[in-house]
Structure 1
Amino acid sequence: MSTPLRPDRPSVEAAQVRARLTALGLPGIIDVHTHFMPQRVLEKVWAYFDSVGPLVGRPWPIAYRTEEAERLATLRSFGVRAFPSLNYAHKPGMAAWLNEWSAGFARQHPDALQSATFYPEPGVADYTRAAIDDGAQVFKVHVQVGDYDLADPLLTQVWTTLEEVGTPIVAHAGNGPAPGRHTGPDGVRELLRAHPDLTLVIAHMGMPDYDDFLDICADHPRVYLDTTMAFTAFTEADAPFPRERLGDLQALADRVLFGSDFPNIPYPYLEAVDSVIDLGLGDDWARAVLHDNAARLFGHIGA
């Protein structure tokens, strides 16, 4: 499908996204990778993307740089029925108050999955347990930005707790868009050797190490992949998905989840949806990815 539309005509784009869902017989989308943050944090994130050109070698314009109320309305207009805030900590002292903000955001917006995060620091096990007890439905970790080892001893009890309760963790652990000291598949393999029953959602399909993360997912029945930015023209230019692995991706039909990175994407949301549908893996596969798998993982939300 062609997606020439830029997101300066939101009502037209929204109608096009919803038309895709109608054609598939879906009630909506469950997007497992969106970001809503305290304003001062979001401004710093946007400043990072504004300067990310030297890091990735090309500009990264943010397509949906609007006020929070407008961003929420835009996302809902696309037919998104559930979405997380996915704050993440990059230094000590941030995670607990980000969790409080995310909990308040979820209370204010019932279609938001209550999100939480953590960082290797004293007290992390306590505030992680508190977030779970407060209703956290998904955690986010960002190994590249946080610059920490998933095997940090300070996180051992955190992983044990999350393994026991089964709360999903969206983990940006891959080497894209640029590698960090602790990114890559080896760190995830080490984590899963110690905690094989973690429910991990590998963000961005683990790009650019798709092969490794497809294999990890195949070997671990509680590991999922999210499609965030994968398969789009922006990403395919530098980190193309290996077409010889499409059969393996199709075989993992029950463990691939749609993610967008809204609002921080450099192209229309429609392109993220079309990039999944246009893989040609079938309507059943597309329905599972865009809605059904996440509905099952998070307890039939968005039905």
Structure 2
Amino acid sequence: MPGLIDVHTHFMPERVLDKVWAYFDAAGPLIGEPWPITYRYEEERRSAVLRAFGVRAHTAMLYPHKASMAAWLNGWAADFAAREPRCLHTATFFPEDGVGAYVREAVERGARVFKAHLQVGAYDPNDPLLDPVWGLLSDAGVPVVTHCGSGPVPGAHTGPEPIGRLLARHPRLRIVVAHLGMPEYTEFLDLADRYPEVRLDTTMALTDFSERRAPFPRSELPRLAALGDRILLGSDFPNIPYPYRHQLDALEALGLGDDWLRAVCHDNARALFGLPGE
């Protein structure tokens, strides 16, 4: 395998990331338990660490928790992608006036992946304000990594039902369900069976940390194997309470084989984003 492609890593403006880390340090209500940040480094060192791990491409997952943030975050993310060649240009959005215009601008500037965080943003993906966004991203074939599962605690608009309604209207939308849909693993696998453009990332799923509170049902391993061309490596780096390698060890421990691992850790994302092969 020539390296790893990680579709769920976080790079944000420093003052935003500081607030995120402070929330983790305080074991905020969406966490509910101590959550030490393993890779609490400044930006350049975090990029270097990923390179040292063999990560050939990664994202800069960032997201607003209120209106009037997303366009500013998108500007920062465009600059970050320009100075970090391994980063897939990432963008985000929020249901607000003008969202269609700044999402279109991000796509025209080269955004290759978007992040939607339904839990932190506390919005319904079916909000009418987002109708032009989903149509644009569906037509453009730009993936949207979406925290839509109800882990670590349910939100007002998490779970498979809101995303299911969205996909019924936009069946070609390239939703990447973060965290394998934790804890509604089965229901999100059902959506992947129904919609061929739905993918799932592995972020924090199957690790010892997550298995204690939301174990992946071993009865679903055959379905995880069968969907092997639509499972993508995600890690949540740097905001993880264990070493990066543990995510990889957890995937290998499933015993689904080298071909499955290579597809998940590299080939599927390379195909999705049209990255050069080796």
Is 2:113 the counterpart of 1:138? yes
Residues 99, 133 of structure 2: 8 Å contact kept: yes
CA–CA distance in 2 between the matches of 1:57 and 1:67? Answer: 26
Aligned to 1:280: 255
Which whole-Å deviations, capped at 9, do the CAs of 1:40-74 have from their partners, x for residues lacking one?
00001101111226544421101000111111111
Contact 1:207 1:239 survives alignment (8 Å) = yes
Report how far residue 301 of structure 1 moved: 4.4
- Rounded Cα–Cα distance in structure 2 between residues aligned with 1:243 and 1:31: 24
Q: Is the 8 A contact 1:28 1:302 kept in 2?
A: no
Matched, 1:78 2:53: yes
Q: Which residue of 2 aligns with 1:198?
A: 173
**1:100-157 C-alpha deviation (Å, 9 max, x unpaired):** 1000000001110000000000000000000000000000000000000000000001
Instruction: For 1:215-254, list aligned pairs within 5 A.
Output: 215-254=190-229
| C-alpha separation in 2, matches of 1:71 and 1:55 | 25
Equivalent residue, structure 2, for 1:209: 184
Paired position in structure 2 for 1:35: 10
Percent of pairs with identical residues = 60
Describe the shift of the 1:40–1:266 C-alpha distance in structure 2 as closer, same or farther (beyond 3 A).
Answer: same
Conservation of the 8 A alpha-carbon contact between 1:82 and 1:301: no
Matched pairs, number: 278
What TM-score comes out, normalization by structure 1 length?
0.90
Hey, what does 1:148 align to over in structure 2? 123
Indicate the SS of the match to 2:150.
coil
Say which SS state the counterpart of residue 254 (structure 1) adopts.
coil
| Partner-residue secondary structure (3-state), 2:171 | coil
Deviation of 1:271 after TM superposition, in Å, equals 0.1
Gaps of 5+ in 1: 1-25
SS in 2 for 1:201: strand
- Give the whole-Å Cα distance in 1 for the aligned partners of 2:222 and 2:3: 26
Match of 1:290 among 259, 265, 271: 265
Quote the Cα distance in structure 1 between the aligned partners of 2:169 and 2:197: 14
Equivalent residue letter for 1:259: G
| Counterpart in the other structure of 1:58 | 33
Q: What RMSD, in angstroms, separates the aligned Cα atoms of the two structures? A: 1.0
Tell whether the 8 Å contact from 1:200 to 1:222 is kept in structure 2 after alignment.
yes
2:87 to 104, 112, 115: 112
1:88 to 63, 70, 73: 63
| 1:195, distance to aligned residue in structure 2 (A) | 0.8
- Unmatched tracts of structure 2, length 5 or more: none
